[in-house]
Structure 1
Amino acid sequence: MKFKSRLIFSLSPLAFVLAGCSTFNSTMEGWSSRNNKRTFEVKTAWVRSTTAEDNLGFRKINRMTPLLVGPLVIQGNGMDGVTAYDRESGNLKWRLPIVNGVEPSAAVIRDRLFFGASDGNFYSVEASTGRVQWSFPTKIENLSEPLLEEGVVYFLSGSNVFYALDAATGKQLWLYSRQDTAQFSIRGGSKAAIRNGVLYVGFSDGSLVALNAKTGNVVWELQLNHNKRFRDIDAAPVLDGDQIYIAGYDDKLYCVSADKGEILWRVDGGSYSAVTVFGDRLLYATTNGEVQALKKQNGEKIWSYKLKEGIPTQVKVFKGIVAFGESQGRLQFLDVTTGKVLGDMDPGRGILSSPQVDEKNNRVYFISGEANLYAIDAGWVKQDYFKE
């Protein structure tokens, strides 16, 4: 490395030496400062097709969030089943064929995996082997993520029937059915939330309903979305203390009292997915094609990022980084404080699944619209100025 100093020959010999040293030190300090700068890098660690055969027919929806279970990453697709891969190498560990595949995300506890499928059944599966423990017939496709709580699994079927099953045996404990007279509905379903023995779940008729977790009896219900087009509440309610954050598909984001079912505040812009609570902020992915950071206490906007096309998935936050997919675009990474773009990658055919983050290893997993499972390394790295 060469260091250049500008020498002024009219200076005394001492001044000459000091001037040269000063410039040398200044150059070194500048190099040291640059050397401490970091860049955000996004690299593909591996990618695997999750289907047993190439899909040459109608494009289906792939939106299950990958699950990290010990050394495995488990992924369902909307075509032919569920697969498990080694998290580090991407090597296939097991495959469970299911007719028409699995769309919604799954729940896991220890070595048990629970999910609803498009073949009209709800499954309990051994996560380490893919062996089915039991199945429960709903006789209709299942599109919502289940909730596990104290040995009971709760989920909403595609016919607006909400089930409570014994997680060990699959035995039905109770059900709650709700009619929807709308002609059109968004494909999806709300995952329930629970607090103090009360379940909160959204329905396709635009209602948020509180149910007794033991009996299924209604505690209160609140009609939120009155739109004539799509009234669906497919987003999961998010509990934060005594408040619930819940959104209708093409409606609004609501803050609701968990005890009484009263609306505390609302902001325009609906959503297909749940908000993400981060400190005093809400990260909100809207059906208007925006990701917004809002103040938790009143919904006031802090910053927003507008997609070029499509809608964003639910946001995940790790190490000050916001990660989400674009339904017709890329996997995006933003700064959580400012909303500034840090990096992205394009898997082709968009992303409908919320990403899964292995924060310890700065690795992000997601399934693309082509049913390919990606393992992406994303994070800050120090620049090396010795490399060309």
Structure 2
Amino acid sequence: MKIILLLSLFLSTLGCSTLNSGLDKWSSLNSNQREYQVKAAWVRRTTEKDNLGFRKINRMTPVLAGDLVIQGNGLDGLVAYDRKNGQERWRLPIANGAEPSATLIRDRLFVGASDGNFYSIEASTGKVQWTFETKSENLAAPLLDEGIVYFLAGNSVFYALDAVTGRQLWLHSRQDTSVFSIRGGSQAALHNGHLYVGFSDGSLVALNAKTGSTLWETQLNRNKRFRDIDATPVVDGNQIYVAGYDDKLYCISTDKGETLWRVDGGGYSAVTIIGDKMLYPTTQGEVWALNKSNGEKIWSYKLKEGIATQIKTYKGAAVFGESQGSLRFLDLNSGKQLGSFEPGRGILSAPQVDEKAGRIYFISGEANLYAVDAGWIKTPYF
């Protein structure tokens, strides 16, 4: 039986931090007397009780649903808060919590959980519409398209379910003979009726979205240690960008699965494409800006510890969490730091950005949900 290893970032002990440790703002001044200010609007503990046992993994990206922000934790379930003031609106207990990110369509939330079930939930009330038993932990975010929800279970079985009823339409199962695996799973990418999914055996597979039949598959990561393709494939035109954990970043053709180019340096999270470049959080503890046509490096940013989450854009900045550090804001053009925010115990979830409100949401390693405001402010000249 495969032994699931937690990433070193998940097991790191960073010392004690209080809930209020991140409430002090961080700021930086530039020559134009402007200050990039990052400060907490509110913070809430998402667990119903204090976790006095083994540290759990909290990496679900917050979901914005109307006036709610919905957050899952790795201990006891899902909870919804008012986006403006953090007032709790509903709570759904789930044994062992919900670790992966969720997908929202109108008032329906789809998420896999660690209790061996996949859930369809009414987002406004937290009422469960249906459950589907996978008999395995569910560690990957689902994808929804044309009334079908697709997701990869922790036992390397990829499912297609009817989104209304939860009825299974088809599945694709793979046998992974590797002894060790990184904890996580790839969200599928969809393009022109084809699904592209990474598996823990190091393969990238193209499937027919309607039937589940295999169109092509290619073995990317052949390392003997961690072969996982946990990063979500990103499709841009006729190219797919996907990374192996301790391997490389690959550019693959969508039609035949041929490798067009590769860059040494593994990744756990998906790339973020911005115009003619992309941002890549590597497992070497760096963030790279690359030319998306050939993978040439434009700039890099070195983290002090850990690795970066998937990167989001926010008003001309790149924002991401550090697994053993802070929420960071970088200038998109130069990679220079603009500001940061320290929540304690690191950040494993990609942040959720609300540019209109000027707010970013994320869950910390301690399962605290933060709402922070960030942006440039004018400062008095002395």
State whether TM-score is above 0.5: yes
Tell me the CA shift for residue 361 of structure 1: 1.6
Q: Determine if the alignment matches structure 1 residue 140 to structure 2 residue 143.
A: no
User: 1: distance between equivalents of 2:48 and 2:189?
Assistant: 34
User: Quick one: which of 43, 47, 50 aligns to 2:46?
Assistant: 50
Q: CA deviation at 1:35?
A: 11
Residue 76 of structure 1 is matched in structure 2 by 72
1:224 and 2:197 correspond? no
State whether residues 66 and 74 of structure 1, in contact with CA within 8 Å, keep that contact through their aligned partners in structure 2.
yes
In structure 2, C-alpha distance between the alignment counterparts of 1:195 and 1:206, rounded to whole Å: 21
Partner of 1:186: 182
Kept in 2: contact 1:86–1:93 (CA 8 A): yes
Q: Structure 1, residues 332-376: CA drift from partner, whole Å, max 9, x if none?
A: 111010000111111111000000000112211000000000001
2:202 is the alignment partner of 1:206:
yes
Q: Which amino acid aligns with 1:246?
A: V
- SS of 1:360's partner is coil
CA distance in 2, matches of 1:362, 1:126: 27
Contact 1:63–1:103 (8 Å) recurs in 2: yes
Structure 1 gap ranges (5+): 1-33
Distance 1:139 1:108 in 2: 23
Shift of 1:37: 3.8
Hey, what does 1:306 align to over in structure 2? 302
Q: How does 1:244-259 map to 2 (within 5 A)?
A: 244-259=240-255
SS of residue matched to 2:306: coil
The residue that corresponds to 1:123 in the other structure is: 119
**Does the CA-based 8 Å contact 1:75-1:83 persist in structure 2?**
yes
Residues 30-179 of structure 1 aligned to structure 2 (within 5 Å):
37-179=33-175
Alpha-carbon distance, 1:318 to partner: 1.6
Q: Which of 359, 365, 372 pairs up with 2:368?
A: 372
The question of 1:241 aligning with 2:242 is answered no
**Structure 1 outlier segments of 4+, above 6 Å:** none
Cα deviation, 1:73-99, whole Å, max 9, x if unaligned, reads 000000000000000000000000000
8 Å Cα contact 1:316/1:322 also seen in 2: yes
TM-score normalised to structure 2 length: 0.91
Bigger Rg, which one: 1
Shift of 1:38: 2.0
CA distance in 2, matches of 1:241, 1:373: 36
Unaligned runs of 5+ in 2: 1-29
| 2:256 alignment partner AA | K
Q: Is the 8 A contact 1:40 1:378 kept in 2?
A: yes
SS at match of 2:356: helix
The amino acid of 2:372's aligned partner reads I
1:97 partner letter: P
- In structure 2, how many angstroms separate the alpha carbons of the residues matched to 1:195 and 1:235? 17
After superposition, the C-alpha distances for 1:146-180 in whole angstroms (9 at most, x for unaligned) are 00000000000000000000000000000000011
Q: Percent identity?
A: 74
In 1, Cα distance between equivalents of 2:131 and 2:32: 55
CA distance in 2, matches of 1:58, 1:96: 22
Rounded to whole Å, the distance in 1 between the matches of 2:234 and 2:73 is 25
CA RMSD of aligned residues (A): 1.1
1:318 corresponds to which of 314, 321, 327 = 314
Moved more, 71-80 or 376-385: 376-385
